[in-house]
Amino acid sequence: MTDEQKPSESSASHLQLARESLRDLLADPRVPVKIREALADDYSQVQGLLDKLEHGHVHIAVFGRVSVGKSSVLNALLGEPMFSTSPVHGETKKSAMQSWEEYDTGGVFLIDTPGINEIGGEAREQLAKDVASRVDLILFVIDGDITDTELGALRLLTQQQRPLLVVLNKSDQYSGDDLSALMTVIATRLEGLVERRNLVTVCADPAAQTVVHVSEDGTETESRRAVTPDVTELKTRLWEILEAEGQTLSALNAGLFASDLSDAVATKIVALRKELGDRVIRTYCVSKGVAVAINPVPVADLFAAAFIDGAMIWHLSRLYDLPVTRAEAGSLVKVIVTQAAALMGTVWAVHLVSSALKLGSGGVSVLATAGTQGAVAYYSTFVVGKVAEKYLMQGKSWGEGGPKRVVREILDSLDRNSILEQAKSDIRRKLKSFK
Ligand X SMILES: Nc1nc2c(ncn2[C@@H]2O[C@H](COP(=O)(O)OP(=O)(O)OP(=O)(O)O)[C@@H](O)[C@H]2O)c(=O)[nH]1
The residues binding Mg ion (CB under 5 A) are: 70-71, 91-92
Contact set for ligand X, span 110-129 (CB under 6 A): 114-115
Q: Contact between 69 and ligand X (CB under 6 A)?
A: yes
Q: Contact between 362 and ligand X (CB under 6 A)?
A: no
Contact set for ligand X, span 161-180 (CB under 6 A): 169-170, 172-173
Q: Which is nearer to ligand X, 8 or 113 (CB)?
A: 113
Q: What is the smallest separation between the CB atom of 233 and ligand X, expressed in angstroms?
A: 13
Pairing of strands 220-225, 209-214: antiparallel
Candidates 79, 81, 90, 360; binder of ligand X (CB under 6 A) is 90
Q: What is the smallest separation between the CB atom of 206 and ligand X, expressed in angstroms?
A: 5
Q: Which is nearer to ligand X, 227 or 266 (CB)?
A: 227
For residues 182 and 157, the answer to whether their CB atoms sit within 8 Å is no
Q: What is the smallest separation between the CB atom of 208 and ligand X, expressed in angstroms?
A: 9
Q: Which of ligand X, Mg ion, none does residue 87 bind to, with CB < 5 to 8 Å depending on kind? A: ligand X
Q: Which of ligand X, Mg ion, none does residue 86 bind to, with CB < 5 to 8 Å depending on kind? A: ligand X
d(Cα 19, Cα 53) in Å, to the nearest integer?
Answer: 14
Judging by beta carbons within 10 Å of its beta carbon (0-12, 13-18, 19+), is residue 174 exposed, middle or buried? middle
Q: Which is nearer to ligand X, 157 or 203 (CB)?
A: 203
Burial code (b: 16+ CB inside 10 Å, e: under 16) for 280-304 equals: bbbebbbbbbbbbbbbeebeebeeb
* DSSP conformational letter for 230: B
Listed residue (125, 121, 155) closest to 140, CA to CA: 155
Q: Contact between 91 and ligand X (CB under 6 A)?
A: yes
Q: What is the smallest separation between the CB atom of 193 and ligand X, expressed in angstroms?
A: 21
Candidates 5, 13, 44, 86; binder of ligand X (CB under 6 A) is 86
Contact set for ligand X, span 49-68 (CB under 6 A): 66-68
Q: Which is nearer to Mg ion, 73 or 305 (CB)?
A: 73
**Helices 345-360 and 326-343 meet at what angle, rounded to 10?**
100
The backbone torsions φ and ψ at residue 68, rounded to the nearest 5 degrees and listed phi first, read -80, -10
Q: Contact between 85 and ligand X (CB under 6 A)?
A: yes
CA atoms within 13 A on the CB side of 303: 6
Q: Which is nearer to ligand X, 167 or 308 (CB)?
A: 167
Listed residue (290, 320, 296) closest to 308, CA to CA: 290
Stretch of 149-157, 200-208, 271-279, 296-304 lying at the interface with ligand X (CB under 6 A): 200-208
d(Cα 11, Cα 134) in Å, to the nearest integer?
Answer: 14
Q: What is the smallest separation between the CB atom of 179 and Mg ion, expressed in angstroms?
A: 23
Q: Which of Mg ion, ligand X, none does residue 205 bind to, with CB < 5 to 8 Å depending on kind? A: ligand X
Number of residues that bind ligand X (CB under 6 A): 25
Q: Contact between 182 and ligand X (CB under 6 A)?
A: no
3-class SS of residue 119:
coil
Q: Which is nearer to Mg ion, 231 or 329 (CB)?
A: 231
Q: Contact between 8 and ligand X (CB under 6 A)?
A: no
| Helix, strand, coil in percent for the chain, rounding step 5 | 65, 10, 25
Sorted by sequence, the CB contacts under 8 Å of residue 416 that are 6+ apart come out as 347, 379
Sorted by sequence, the CB contacts under 8 Å of residue 404 that are 6+ apart come out as 339, 343
Sorted by sequence, the CB contacts under 8 Å of residue 68 that are 6+ apart come out as 115, 141, 142, 143, 169, 170
Q: Which is nearer to Mg ion, 16 or 117 (CB)?
A: 117
Q: Which is nearer to ligand X, 170 or 273 (CB)?
A: 170
3-class SS of residue 85:
coil
Residues in contact with ligand X, shown as a per-residue x/- string from 206 to 245 under the rule CB under 6 A:
xx--------------------------------------
Q: What is the smallest separation between the CB atom of 226 and ligand X, expressed in angstroms?
A: 12
Please report, as ranges, the residues that interact with ligand X according to CB under 6 A. Answer: 66-72, 85-87, 89-92, 114-115, 169-170, 172-173, 203-207
